[in-house]
Structure 1
Amino acid sequence: MPLDPKVLGQALGEDLTLHSTLCRREAGAFQQALRGGSELVVACTQEQRLFAELAEQTEGVGWVPLKFVNIRETGGWSRDAWQAAPKMAALLAAARLPEPEPVATVSYRSEGRLLVIGPLEAAEKIAASVADVLQVTVFSTGGSGAQERRWPVLSGRVDRVSGWLGAFELAFTQDNPIDLDLCTRCNACIEACPEGAIGFDYQVRLDACTGHRACVKACEAAGAIDFTRDARSDTQAFDLVLDLRPQPAMLRHALPQGYLHLPPDSAPEVRLAAVLRLRELVGEFEKPKFFAYKQKLCAHSRNETVGCQACIDICSAEAISSDKSRQQVKVNPNLCVGCGACTTVCPTGAMSYSYPRPNEQGDKLRALLSTYAKSGGRDAVLLLHSQEAGRLMVEELGRAARVGTAQGVPANVIPVPLWHVASTGLELWLTAVAGGARHIAVLATSEEAPQYLDALRQQMDVAQALLEGLGYAGTHLSLLRCAHPSDLDQELQLVTRRLGAVPATPARHAVSGDKRATLELALDHLVEQARVRPEVIALPAVGSPLGTIAVDKDKCTLCMSCVGACPASALQDNTELPQLKFIEKNCVQCGLCATTCPEDAISLTPRLLLTPERRQPRVLNETQPYGCVRCGKPFGTLKAIEAMLGKLSGHSMFQGAALERLKMCGDCRVVDIYSAENEAKITDL
């Protein structure tokens, strides 16, 4: 790699000494640095295991936190590596940031109770390879089994498989005449059946059976066959599930921890990996609780009316469900895989990403961009990729560039690993553009669910519309769908020619844990430095968290149900006058007001208003108050009371005095009813 210690040292604020064989001949320098006691960043991920072992074996050294960063495949191995020093400095600076703050964890406990669903022969082969560490139960779906019965065997119809690692539940119906728990596999029934309706899976094919019942007589000693037995439902608990059927029991993109699906056509290496994985899943495990939920901000439901359900629709693990009675959503932390897609599409910030937190992500982006610029880097491009498949593809591209079969990661493209690419969205992207990123490319591999890609495109459309509306020319965002490093190589060369304009002065504001606050800070900076400043910017109809509402004054009765439904206080009433007021800055375009309105008088319009009126209350509708006919006190609106009188005047229960009471306030209505009752009693006397 062409390394420039002067550039790197200036960017990091210290003198640097370069080592060419630090993991071998010059290992003493690494051990000497360990003795200093400070946190170390090692710019080599290939020898991560060796450096960790050296740290353990070095005498006189306590625990020293080690961090590792890859500057080789990400920059040092590329066609323009000689220009990559600013990028390397940026990667080193980001690696030196503090580790994310600890968060709550989700615990799993597995005792190794494994359920294998599939043909007997295949299931028993798998069982034999894990039986020394796992307690195996087989659910037979046909095939031929071994004569020796080594594991409990269930049969029938699988109704449901649900749960997660350590807490799976199998619900099934035993609907076959042969009970495999009683069957001794003596094969007498197979021999006795004249139709050949019984195979070596020891189940009766009822469509072929004609009712000779010779099998029942042959099985008289064991009593395993009973055609009069009613189908019975049962449930059993397991810690792990291996499904060998063509279709998995759970039709979702992100399968729960502890559930593995191996279709019949799986490659041998895939089957081996599954077996090894199962053997590891015994004991206690923890993972971060990736999300934080603030019910007060949630725009999902009010008064059991559903408005926004973006998080429910996008969750590929089906970990999020609706609880309308409590006016919120529920997240099952055991099913959550930490993709963060729910936090990206949430318009209010009620659902936020916890590990790392938004402010920690913001610190990382700011460190990357500021160090890159400080080191003389130009035209910064951020490449957001996942820590698994995305990272491997970037590294493979670097290795291909080293041997001359690819161009590699361009010098101005800074790879940024994320737990999942769906965990960042509009507010962080705009913050990065405001901070100097001329393009943000999101790498999608085969691991992303289709709905994630749709959501990312929608967010990108909104961001691009905002930037173009403010006069920032060019393309600022792109979604790269790549199946192979060669695809990524071509896409990155195109990306470097699709750069967007950025503010003349980069933003340096911190990213807040409040999503809306971060979005507003980014917009404020972009507007302040904008080339043009129109009064309003139209935004795409789908995915926009910004916009206004319109009220049909002819339909609206000012019942104020929309005010009670609004989760963001964008809609407000006036305690003094019948007025409906609106603050556009607060509106999240959740649609709860429109779905709640009994008169269907509200419509939504996505946009960004750039005039001061965006932050000021404005009156959407108002009318004259209706005064009580008895005391004169206002108790409703003229329009609402007249509408009510018109609807009820023909009803038999509201005639004469009863209709007149509808024109009274609540207090006078009670007094009038009480007075009428007393007059009736006096008349009777």
Structure 2
Amino acid sequence: MLKSTLEALASNDQNAAARFSAITGTVELANLIPPTVSYESRGNLLIIGEQLTITALAEQFSALNSVTLLATEKAAQAEKVENLYFSKEVTVKGYLGAFDVRCRVDGTISETNVNLAKVATGRDCFDIVLDMTAEGIVKIEIPAPGYYATAKGAVVADLVEELPAMIGTFDKPKYFRLNPDLCAHSSRGVSGCDRCVDACPAGALTSTGHAIEINPYLCQGVGTCATACPTEAISYALPDPDNTQHFVYRLLDRYQTEGGSAPTILFYGNRDEASVIRTLALFPSNVIPVALEELATVGVDTWFSALAYGAHQVLLATNTDYIPATIDRVLSDELAIAQAFLTELGFEADRITLFDFAQVESFSAYDAALVTDAQARFEGNKRDKLFAALTLLADVAPAKPDYSELPANAPYGSVDCKTEDCTLCMSCVSVCPTRALHAVGDRPGLLFVEQDCIQCGMCEKACPEKVISMKPGFNWDAQARTEAQVVHEEEAACCTSCGKAFAPASMVKMLTEKLQSHSQFQGEAIRRLSMCEDCRVRDIFSQMESDPESQLKV
């Protein structure tokens, strides 16, 4: 439908013709065989709500395998209905084919919540839930498949026709890939980044305390977790972000090859295709629509790559009134960072902007490009591509900032260290997920690579002296940003026995001062703190051999 609309507009001018040729001649964004998860539904329906409301509906769903009614409020006078239960406190968890519904059923002797499906149908779970309560029992913004709530816009008349078809096996794409090796959520018991959990409106991501888990049955493919993830530990798989950026590159290249000028990229989610088709004729003909599974599946790296590839502007198009709060927050946070970069460079902030279809008649495209020369396609991970695009834009920008402050939640920045109190214990190094912080190697010292820092905060939490703190921001000096900078270094303490350098001198001094009054470090024992690990062991065993009773004091 979109292509036929583009074809109809292609005769209008050169840009419209180039746009149609670019879109039809560029390989589409898709995976040939995406991984899937399967739902099994036997058609056991649970309807929850006021007694009179739900009993009136029961017969309309008679085509399903079974219908169980759970009234949250009793009617003063009502006919007796089969398979009707009463409970004021209800919890619903699960997804199509596997809904676990717990409640204390009125009239039973049980004092605890029971599995209602077990009581009503003899099975472990319900397959479908129709929630007709005023506020909805499941508070998640995007509920799982199989859960329908009138409070969230479900229309009963439509469901009467649709739900009988919800029997059988149903496949859904497995939208995401998770690489635990790249995850910055936790290390050595220290908690770090949880941006993905906060960004999921479907409740599909949870923390086990040491790792992130994704429930593919709850995941709705919104994409906010992948956009929020700073390390690409979670990446979108339908298609992956690398293919998305390559598609944008090929699309812009083909558009300009076909004689198109001043391109503007309009990203939109598939659910908004009807709005795109309806408003496309009102846009200037140099606006190139790019369909995504969901609008939030791409973030700041893809937006800036598009500008670097020649787009004059990037529009994130949607009906803004209908964006769930979590998706709106993630997009707004990402957009705030993007526009901070643009304004710091002296460019217009709305070169990347959220765009409501209702504004189409007042839209005016930018005539001037930020980058005029053709660029090679960026490679690497999402951060590599973003930094490459920003470096390119910084070279041609009207403003030349040295350093820019960013919002507190930005995954870019540096660390501050009170070096006078740092003992170079390397606790920060042991938990850093990206090796932004690492040891010098041949002497006591701490190095830092700013471009690799994602501001996860684990180093700050792991530091026993509490001398490290986060500093969100951006260093526009690419060489300084990518080189290892010395945070702190000091003289090494040399073993008093063999002369080998084995620890920072300040650490040995600190330990000696703290432990000199300890009962286990009296007399000759205290001098072992000034020995390397090998000499310390030899000294202990030498004393044990000459004085066996000393073993009781070790």
Do Structure 1 and Structure 2 share a fold, with TM-score over 0.5? Answer: yes
Larger mean CA deviation between 453-462 and 309-318 belongs to 453-462
Secondary structure of residue in 2 paired with 1:662: helix
Secondary structure of residue in 2 paired with 1:554: helix
Q: 2:251 matched to which residue of 1?
A: 368
Q: Distance in 2 between matches of 1:271 and 1:565?
A: 52
- Structure 2 residue corresponding to 1:257, chosen from 134, 145, 170: 145
Deviations 1:396-449 (A, max 9, x none): 335xx6xxxxxx222222222211111110111111001111111112334422
Q: 2:297 matched to which residue of 1?
A: 423
Q: 2:354 matched to which residue of 1?
A: 479
Q: 1:459 matched to which residue of 2?
A: 334
Q: Distance in 2 between matches of 1:533 and 1:119?
A: 63
Q: Distance in 2 between matches of 1:523 and 1:681?
A: 68
Offset of 1:543 from its aligned partner? 4.4
Offset of 1:323 from its aligned partner? 2.5
1:70 aligns with 2:21: no
Superposed, which structure 2 residues align to 1:380-419 within 5 Å?
Answer: 380-388=263-271, 390-397=272-279, 408-419=282-293
Q: Distance in 2 between matches of 1:457 and 1:317?
A: 18
TM-score by length of 2: 0.89
Offset of 1:79 from its aligned partner? 13
Q: Distance in 2 between matches of 1:683 and 1:506?
A: 77
Structure 1 410/146 Cα, relative in aligned 2: closer, same or farther at 3 Å?
farther
- Structure 1 residue corresponding to 2:101, chosen from 163, 170, 176: 170
Contact 1:385 1:391 in 2 (8 A): yes
Q: 1:15 matched to which residue of 2?
A: none
Q: What amino acid is aligned across from residue 111 of structure 2 in structure 1?
A: A
Q: Distance in 1 between matches of 2:111 and 2:251?
A: 64
Deviations 1:611-653 (A, max 9, x none): 4233222211101111233333332211112122222334444
Q: 2:20 matched to which residue of 1?
A: 88
Contact 1:347 1:590 in 2 (8 A): no
Q: Distance in 2 between matches of 1:518 and 1:506?
A: 16
- Structure 1 residue corresponding to 2:359, chosen from 480, 485, 488: 488
Secondary structure of residue in 1 paired with 2:265: strand
Q: Distance in 1 between matches of 2:549 and 2:479?
A: 65
Q: 1:631 matched to which residue of 2?
A: 498
1:609 aligns with 2:489: no
Secondary structure of residue in 2 paired with 1:161: strand
Q: What amino acid is aligned across from residue 272 of structure 1 in structure 2?
A: A
Structure 1 683/164 Cα, relative in aligned 2: closer, same or farther at 3 Å?
closer
Deviations 1:270-301 (A, max 9, x none): 22123333222211111111111111111111
Structure 1 632/98 Cα, relative in aligned 2: closer, same or farther at 3 Å?
closer
Secondary structure of residue in 1 paired with 2:260: coil
Deviations 1:82-138 (A, max 9, x none): 9633333333234x5474232211111111111111122222233211121231111
Contact 2:55 2:81 in 1 (8 A): no
1:507 aligns with 2:367: no
Contact 2:543 2:550 in 1 (8 A): no
Q: 2:217 matched to which residue of 1?
A: 334
Q: 1:583 matched to which residue of 2?
A: 449
1:234 aligns with 2:114: yes
- Structure 2 residue corresponding to 1:655, chosen from 522, 547, 550: 522
Contact 2:339 2:349 in 1 (8 A): no
Q: What amino acid is aligned across from residue 426 of structure 2 in structure 1?
A: M
Q: Distance in 1 between matches of 2:80 and 2:110?
A: 28
Identity value in percent: 30
Structure 1 621/679 Cα, relative in aligned 2: closer, same or farther at 3 Å?
same
Q: Distance in 2 between matches of 1:651 and 1:323?
A: 39
Offset of 1:608 from its aligned partner? 2.9
Superposed, which structure 2 residues align to 1:96-111 within 5 Å?
Answer: 96-97=27-28, 99-111=30-42
Offset of 1:146 from its aligned partner? 5.7
Q: Distance in 2 between matches of 1:607 and 1:249?
A: 44
Deviations 1:20-69 (A, max 9, x none): xxxxxxxxxxxxxxxxxxxxxxxxx2xxxxxxxxxxxxxxxxxxxxxxx4
Q: 1:300 matched to which residue of 2?
A: 185
Q: 1:141 matched to which residue of 2?
A: 72
Secondary structure of residue in 2 paired with 1:516: helix
Q: 1:220 matched to which residue of 2?
A: none
Structure 1 506/626 Cα, relative in aligned 2: closer, same or farther at 3 Å?
same
Contact 1:383 1:443 in 2 (8 A): yes
Structure 1 110/673 Cα, relative in aligned 2: closer, same or farther at 3 Å?
same
Q: What amino acid is aligned across from residue 200 of structure 2 in structure 1?
A: C
Secondary structure of residue in 1 paired with 2:97: coil
Aligned residues: 540
Q: What amino acid is aligned across from residue 169 of structure 2 in structure 1?
A: E
Q: 2:460 matched to which residue of 1?
A: 594
Offset of 1:547 from its aligned partner? 2.5
Q: What amino acid is aligned across from residue 505 of structure 1 in structure 2?
A: D
Contact 1:347 1:588 in 2 (8 A): yes
Q: Distance in 1 between matches of 2:153 and 2:452?
A: 51
Contact 1:472 1:531 in 2 (8 A): yes
TM-score by length of 1: 0.73
Structure having the higher helix fraction is 2
Secondary structure of residue in 2 paired with 1:392: helix
Q: What amino acid is aligned across from residue 418 of structure 1 in structure 2?
A: L
1:536 aligns with 2:402: yes
Structure 1 637/241 Cα, relative in aligned 2: closer, same or farther at 3 Å?
same
Structure 1 672/82 Cα, relative in aligned 2: closer, same or farther at 3 Å?
closer
Structure 1 500/273 Cα, relative in aligned 2: closer, same or farther at 3 Å?
farther
Q: Larger radius of gyration, structure 1 or 2? A: 1
Q: What amino acid is aligned across from residue 3 of structure 2 in structure 1?
A: N
Q: What amino acid is aligned across from residue 468 of structure 2 in structure 1?
A: I
Secondary structure of residue in 2 paired with 1:313: helix
Q: What amino acid is aligned across from residue 413 of structure 1 in structure 2?
A: V
1:321 aligns with 2:203: no
Offset of 1:245 from its aligned partner? 0.5
